[in-house]
Amino acid sequence: MRDIMKLLQQAQDMQGQLKKIQDELEQMTVTGAAGGGMVSAEVNGQGLLKRVKIDKSVVNPADTEMLEDLVAVAVIEAQKKAAEKAQEQTSKLAGGMNLPFKLPGF
């Protein structure tokens, strides 16, 4: 009975730590860039897009497809970095057990 109570307490502790990590990831900002930094995207640690910056020199009404591609690349890079940060944080919680973690929508 004592082992079960200890296990339940450990589970509650881990749940609290996971909530803390999720809050930290929500507040974190990660940046991805494309086109040599001409387009950048900022996401939070959960991979949710917060901001896109576009250098005026990249804006060409005759070639919007290139700009669309640069924005997509910047967002994907930022989301990849956010997923790596999230994996780092959750692996600390798991004590290096390398539990799988996926961002919402991935």
CATH number (domain holding residue 53): 3.30.1310.10
**What is this structure's pTM?**
0.74
Q: Total domain count for the chain?
A: 1
Closest C-alpha to 49, from 59, 58, 57, 40: 40
pLDDT, one tens digit per residue, over 27-77 is: 999 999 999 999 999 999 989 999 999 999 999 999 999 999 999 999 999
Asked whether residue 101 is assigned to any structural domain, the reply reads no
Q: Where are the beta strands (DSSP E) in the chain?
A: 29-34, 39-44, 49-54
3-state DSSP assignment of residue 38: coil
Instruction: Write down the residue that tokens 């669309």 correspond to.
Output: 68
Asked whether residue 51 is assigned to any structural domain, the reply reads yes
Asked whether residue 42 is assigned to any structural domain, the reply reads yes
Backbone angles phi, psi at 33, to 5 degrees: -135, 160
Closest C-alpha to 47, from 20, 15, 86: 86
pLDDT, one tens digit per residue, over 6-33 is: 888 888 888 888 888 888 889 999 999 9
Backbone angles phi, psi at 75, to 5 degrees: -65, -45
Closest C-alpha to 78, from 102, 49, 58: 49
Domain, as residue range, for 29: 2-93
